[in-house]
C-alpha cells in the first residue's frame, strides 16, 4: 500500500488513578494511525488540566518520569498524522486545551472537516484568533462563541455547523464527551476496565489495557461519561445514511481490531478470497506486500488452494532519515523497507497481493525487485477497486491528477508497474466482502466519486439535565 496515509488515533479514560499511563498504552496500540506526534492531557484532583506533547512516536515522546507527572483520573490522548495544518508546528499537536465561558476544556479529534475553510474565514471575520492551522480548532472557537447556556446544547449546535468527519473527545472538568459525526466516517469504540471507562479509535487499544469492549459509538451519537462511570447517550443529529470509510477495513485499521461491526482480519481475508474468485490466473505461489496485504493474500491463497509464502521481508525499524551513499543505489528507499526472498520467487509464477494502488511509483520498484530476484511471471492483484478520486474526510490522498487510476487504463497501469497481469477487486466484490447487510453503510467516494451527501439535520433538542431525561444512562 503506497500513498494513502493514516489519519489520527484518539484515546480517552475516565475513572482510573493512572489515566495517563492507560492513555499512553492506548496510543501505543494506535500508533499505526499516526506517527507525527502524540499528546496526553489529564484533569488532576485540583481541577487543572496538565499534560505533555511530543513529536514522533508515543514510545519516544513519553518517559515514565513524564507520565508520572501527568496526574489525574480522567484524560484524553491523540496520535497525530497531519491531514490538515503544517505537520511540524508544535501548536498543531493535540489534544488542544482552551477556555470558554463554561470553563476549561480539552479536545482530541480524528477526521477532517469539509467546510473548515469557510468556517475559519467566518470566525476570523468575527474576531477569532487561531493558534494553529488545524481544523480541530474550529470546534473550539464555535463552542466558545455559542450563546447556549448548557455545554451539550453548544456541542449540538456545533455539530449542526461543521461538515465532514469527526470522531472526537472533549474533556471538561466534570465529564468526558465522545462524539462521532452523523456519517460515522471514522471509528470510535467504548469499553470498560472495571470501574473505568475507556474510549478509543479501535478495539486494539482496549485490548492492550484489558478493557472490555462494550460497543461502538454510533454515527451522530454524543456519549457523556461521568466520573463515576455512568454514561448518558443522545442522538441529536441524524443523517439519512451512514458512510463508514471503506479504507479503514481495507488498510488503516489494525487487523486485530473490530470496527464497523467487523473483525478486520476476517474481512480482509474475504476481500482476498473475492479477489481470487474474480481474477485468478495459473500461478505457483501467492505472496503479500506486507503488512496490510497479508490477510488478503491469505484469503486469496486459500481460495485457489495455492501456497502463500514470504516473498518480501519488511524492515520494521526504518527511521525517518537515511544516509545514502553518494553513488546512488537504485530503488534505495523501497529496499530499506522491503527485501525479496529469493527461494520463494526464483523461477516462479507469482501472484502479488496488495491492498490498493495510489500513485504506483513504489509498485514499480517492488516489482522490479521481484523480477531481479527471479520471478518468472508477476500477477499483481489489488484488494480494492481503482482509486480515481481524492478524499475530503481525513485521509491524506493525492490530487486526482496524481492518482494513477484516474489517469490511465488498467492495461496502461499494468505496463507502467511492470506486471504480466493486473487486476483490481471490483466494487461489488468489495461490497460483498464488507457484508450484504452492511455494505450500504460505507463511503466509496475515492472509488466512484459518489461522496456522501451532506443532508444531516438537527433533530429535536435533547435534555441537558445532568442525569435525567430520555437520554440513556447506563452504569455498571
Ligand atoms: S473518500 Fe475514500 S478514503 Fe475518504 S472517507 Fe470515503 S472511502 Fe474513505
Tell me the C-alpha distance between 185 and 116, whole Å: 16
- Between the CA of 292 and the centroid of ligand 1 the distance, in Å, is 17
- Between the CA of 266 and the centroid of ligand 1 the distance, in Å, is 21
What is the pLDDT averaged over residues 305-334?
83
Q: Are 392 and 112 in contact (CB under 8 A)?
A: yes
DSSP state of 31: G
Decide if pLDDT at 199 tops 50.
yes
Q: Read off the pLDDT of residues 137-192 as tens digits, 9 standing for 90 and up.
A: 999 999 999 999 999 999 999 999 999 999 999 999 999 999 999 999 999 999 99
User: Is 391's C-beta closer than 6 angstroms to any atom of ligand 1?
Assistant: yes
Ligand 1 atom at minimum distance from 387 CA: 2
Decide if pLDDT at 463 tops 60.
no
Which pTM was predicted? Answer: 0.91
> CA 329 from chain center: how many Å?
34
Q: How confident is the model at residue 321 (pLDDT cuts 50, 70, 90)?
A: low
CA-CA-CA-CA torsion sign (273, 275, 278, 283): negative
Pair type for strands 189-193 and 212-216: antiparallel
The predicted pLDDT at position 200 comes to: 98
Q: How confident is the model at residue 322 (pLDDT cuts 50, 70, 90)?
A: low
What is the pLDDT averaged over residues 65-74?
96
3-state SS class at 347: coil
DSSP state of 189: E
Decide if pLDDT at 287 tops 80.
yes
Q: What's the topology of domain 267-315+331-448? A: Rossmann fold (3.40.50)
CATH superfamily of 9-243+454-474: Aminohydrolase, N-terminal nucleophile (Ntn) domain (3.60.20.10)
DSSP state of 132: S
Tell me the C-alpha distance between 363 and 376, whole Å: 17
* Residue to mutate, 83, 181, 245, ligand 1, most ligand atoms under 8 Å from C-beta: 245
Which of 88-97, 344-353, 401-410, 451-460 shows the lowest per-residue confidence on average (mean pLDDT)? 451-460
What is the pLDDT averaged over residues 269-290?
97
Q: How confident is the model at residue 320 (pLDDT cuts 50, 70, 90)?
A: low
Q: Read off the pLDDT of residues 415-443 as tens digits, 9 standing for 90 and up.
A: 999 999 999 999 999 999 999 899 999 99
Dihedral pair phi/psi, residue 377, rounded to 5°: -135, 145
Pair type for strands 212-216 and 244-245: unpaired
Q: Read off the pLDDT of residues 237-271 as tens digits, 9 standing for 90 and up.
A: 888 899 999 999 999 999 999 999 999 999 999 99
- Please choose, from the candidates 277, 289, 349, the residue with its C-alpha nearest in 3D space to the C-alpha of residue 314: 289
Q: Are 235 and 156 in contact (CB under 8 A)?
A: no
Tell me the C-alpha distance between 225 and 16, whole Å: 13
Tell me the C-alpha distance between 435 and 433, whole Å: 5
CA-CA-CA-CA torsion sign (218, 223, 229, 230): negative
Ligand 1 atom at minimum distance from 395 CA: 3
Tell me where in the chain the CATH 3.60.20.10 domain(s) lie.
Answer: 9-243+454-474
Which of 31-40, 305-314, 327-336, 356-365 shows the lowest per-residue confidence on average (mean pLDDT)? 327-336
Give the count of beta carbons closer than 10 Å to the beta carbon of residue 333: 13
- Between the CA of 63 and the centroid of ligand 1 the distance, in Å, is 35
Cell numbers that stand for 278 in this block: 474474480
Edge-first strand order for the sheet with 472-474 is 96-100, 103-110, 167-171, 176-180, 222-225, 231-234, 472-474
Tell me where in the chain the CATH 3.40.50.2020 domain(s) lie.
Answer: 267-315+331-448
Residue with cell 472533549: 170
Residues 6+ apart with CB under 8 A from 31: 9, 57, 58, 59, 79
Dihedral pair phi/psi, residue 266, rounded to 5°: -60, -40
Give the closest residue (by CA) to ligand 1 atom 2: 446
Q: How confident is the model at residue 86 (pLDDT cuts 50, 70, 90)?
A: low
Amino acid at each position: 500500500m503506497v500513498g494513502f496515509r493514516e489519519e489520527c488515533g484518539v484515546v480517552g479514560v475516565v475513572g482510573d488513578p493512572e489515566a495517563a499511563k492507560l492513555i499512553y498504552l492506548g496510543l501505543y496500540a494506535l500508533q499505526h494511525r499516526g506517527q507525527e506526534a502524540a499528546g496526553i492531557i489529564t484533569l488532576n484532583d485540583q481541577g487543572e488540566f496538565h499534560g505533555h506533547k511530543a513529536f514522533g512516536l508515543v514510545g519516544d515522546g513519553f518517559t515514565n518520569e513524564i507520565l508520572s507527572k501527568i496526574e489525574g483520573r480522567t484524560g484524553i490522548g491523540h496520535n497525530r498524522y497531519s491531514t490538515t495544518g503544517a505537520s511540524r508546528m508544535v501548536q498543531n499537536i493535540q489534544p488542544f486545551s482552551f477556555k470558554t465561558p463554561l470553563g476549561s476544556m480539552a479536545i482530541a479529534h480524528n477526521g477532517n472537516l469539509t467546510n473548515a475553510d469557510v468556517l475559519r474565514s467566518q470566525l476570523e471575520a468575527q474576531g477569532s484568533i487561531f493558534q494553529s492551522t488545524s481544523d480541530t480548532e474550529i470546534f473550539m472557537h464555535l463552542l466558545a462563541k455559542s450563546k447556549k447556556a448548557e455545554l451539550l446544547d453548544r456541542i449540538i449546535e456545533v455539530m449542526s455547523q461543521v461538515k465532514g468527519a469527526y470522531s472526537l473527545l472533549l474533556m471538561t472538568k466534570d465529564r468526558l464527551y465522545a462524539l462521532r459525526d452523523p456519517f460515522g466516517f471514522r471509528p470510535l469504540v467504548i469499553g470498560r476496565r472495571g470501574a473505568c471507562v475507556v474510549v478509543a479509535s479501535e478495539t486494539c487499544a482496549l485490548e492492550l489495557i484489558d478493557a472490555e469492549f462494550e460497543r461502538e459509538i454510533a454515527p451522530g451519537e454524543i456519549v457523556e461519561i461521568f466520573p463515576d462511570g455512568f454514561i448518558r447517550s443522545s442522538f441529536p443529529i441524524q443523517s439519512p445514511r451512514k458512510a463508514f470509510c471503506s479504507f479503514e477495513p481495507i488498510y488503516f485499521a489494525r487487523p486485530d481490531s473490530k470496527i464497523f461491526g467487523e473483525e478486520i482480519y476476517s474481512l480482509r481475508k474475504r476481500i482476498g478470497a473475492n479477489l481470487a474468485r474474480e481474477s485468478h490466473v495459473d500461478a505457483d505461489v501467492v505472496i503479500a506486500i506486507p503488512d496490510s496485504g497479508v490477510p488478503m493474500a491469505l484469503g486469496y491463497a486459500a481460495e485457489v488452494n495455492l501456497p502463500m509464502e514470504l516473498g518480501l521481508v519488511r524492515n520494521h525499524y526504518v527511521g525517518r532519515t537515511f544516509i545514502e551513499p553518494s553513488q546512488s543505489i537504485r530503488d534505495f528507499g523501497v529496499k530499506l523497507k522491503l527485501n525479496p526472498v529469493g527461494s520463494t520467487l526464483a523461477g516462479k509464477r507469482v501472484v502479488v497481493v496488495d491492498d490498493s494502488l495510489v500513485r504506483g511509483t513504489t509498485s514499480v520498484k517492488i516489482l522490479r525487485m521481484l523480477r531481479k530476484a527471479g520471478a518468472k511471471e508477476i500477477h499483481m492483484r489489488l484488494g480494492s477497486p481503482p482509486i480515481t478520486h481524492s478524499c475530503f474526510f481525513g485521509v491524506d490522498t493525492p490530487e486526482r491528477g496524481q492518482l494513477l487510476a484516474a489517469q490511465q487504463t488498467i492495461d496502461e497501469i499494468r505496463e507502467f508497474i511492470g506486471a504480466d497481469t493486473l487486476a483490481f477487486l471490483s466494487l461489488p466484490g468489495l461490497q460483498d466482502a464488507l457484508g450484504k447487510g452492511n455494505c450500504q453503510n460505507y463511503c466509496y467516494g475515492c472509488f466512484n466519486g459518489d461522496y456522501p451527501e451532506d443532508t444531516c439535520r438537527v433533530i429535536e433538542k435533547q435534555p441537558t439535565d445532568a442525569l435525567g431525561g430520555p437520554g440513556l444512562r447506563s452504569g455498571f
